[in-house]
Amino acid sequence: MNDIFEYWQLLLVPVFFAVGWMAARIDMRQVVHESRALPRSYFTGLNFLLNEQPDKAIDSFLEVAKVDSQTVELHFALGNLFRRRGETERAIRMHQNLLGLPDIEEKHRLQAMVELGQDFLKAGLLDRAEEIFNKLVGTARDADAKRSLLEIYQVGKEWQKAIEIARELPDLASHKEIAEYYCELAAGEIMRSRSDSARAYLDVAMQENRKCVRASMLLGDLLAQEGRTEEAIAVWQGIEQQDPAYLSLVAQRLLDAYLKLSRRDEGIALLSGYLEHYPSLDLLDVVYQLVLEGQGNEAAYRLVRAELQRNPTLLGLEKLMSARLPLASPEVRGDVELAKSIIQGYTRRLSRYRCNNCGFKARQFYWRCPACGGWETNPPRRGEEFDQSL
């Protein structure tokens, strides 16, 4: 019985082979038939792309689009290519042409609207982009529309609208981002001397995120403007409990407040303690200047030398050279100045804040990265404090 079973199995092998060969022939004929139906310009365009000639490839693909208006996916590919290359006018025309097709499928019509909105956004035409995405709200592309609207409102600084959209997108905008929107509103009110509404916005920001350092900073600014210096100091000191890394951003504010109250020594003690526990080059700058003015060159030099021993950095060494220069004898002063100038040549590119998301670097601190749009992605520390040491 086993021999008979194995015999029939062997007979099935050529049968299966023949069926597979026939299926392959049918598939190949279909492929050949479809390839012959494609315009020659399509293959010409692919050849240009493979040879890294994008301009000629675009012209060839446009020829395909003219020949067959139903090549929807090719239209989308071309439009995206135009937008990535910064040719937004051509991308806009391409996607508008798609929307003008009388027999376009609904899913393709919605996709064309999304792409057109992105074209307008890339071109800086925020009003037209907003109009497109508002039409997409409630459709199958609702989530895409709301994400884009949130970006539009952030770029356009329409913070109330951003808050409304963000509350509908909890997976995209966290309480941290919403707190930042309220801080933006509060900052605007402080500039207009509207303290009551500014305080109301800051209260909501703190409800959204109890660790919102920016809200504490702005509240301290508001209190300082009102002459409530003691309260401002208390609020700024509270940042140590939220995130001590941000103390460097309020160091100058604290210094000015203590000087206003004629309590220099208390200010020196507080900021020196912060520097010891939470080392920061920005904090070192403030404490160094404070000690220099209050206690003289020798004390400032000792401060920087001790800090450099704890946290060796090129930026710290540059500060040490600055502190050493007034104390140097005439014979070595020239050498100290030369060393300082050499170090400065390196530290100019190190003294920058850097975004954790995209690596964008800037000399000033940003709450929202100008490159990637991330909130609180720029730690309040100079780049060298992360990846440079002696």
* Average pLDDT of the segment spanning 21-42: 46
Is 369 labeled as ligand-binding?
yes
**Number of domains composing the chain:** 4
Residue 333 in any domain: the answer is yes
pLDDT tens, position by position, 165-208 = 999 887 777 889 999 999 999 999 999 989 999 999 999 999 99
pLDDT of 8: 45
pLDDT of 219: 97
Model confidence band, residue 218 (pLDDT cutoffs 50, 70, 90): very high
Residue 356 in any domain: the answer is yes
Asked if pLDDT for residue 11 goes beyond 90, the answer is no
**Closest by alpha carbon to 379, among 208, 249, 212, 252?**
249
Domain limit, last residue, from 186, 205, 236: 236
Is 372 labeled as ligand-binding?
yes
Residue 270 contacts by C-beta under 8 Å, 6 or more apart in sequence? 237, 254, 258
- How far apart CA 244 and CA 265 sit, in angstroms, is 22
pLDDT of 242: 96
pLDDT tens, position by position, 55-65 = 666 566 555 55
State the CATH number of the domain containing residue 207.
Answer: 1.25.40
pLDDT tens, position by position, 355-369 = 888 888 888 889 999
Residue 153 in any domain: the answer is yes
Whether residue 166 is found in the same domain as residue 97: yes
Is residue 347 within 8 Å of residue 320, measured between CB atoms?
no
Whether residue 115 is found in the same domain as residue 135: yes
Residues 339, 343, 348, CA angle at the centre, nearest 5°?
150
Whether residue 283 is found in the same domain as residue 341: yes
Q: Is residue 229 packed enough to be buried (19+ CB in 10 Å), middle (13-18) or exposed (0-12)?
A: middle
Q: Which domain holds residue 164?
A: 69-170
Please indicate whether residue 70 or residue 206 has the higher confidence score (pLDDT): 206
Whether residue 224 is found in the same domain as residue 284: no
- Phi/psi of residue 41, each to 5°? -60, -30
pTM (two decimals): 0.73
Instruction: Give CA 105 to chain center in angstroms.
Output: 36
pLDDT of 378: 86
- Phi/psi of residue 105, each to 5°? -65, 155
Is 183 labeled as ligand-binding?
no
State the CATH number of the domain containing residue 89.
Answer: 1.25.40.10
Is 212 labeled as ligand-binding?
no
pLDDT of 385: 52
Please indicate whether residue 281 or residue 175 has the higher confidence score (pLDDT): 175
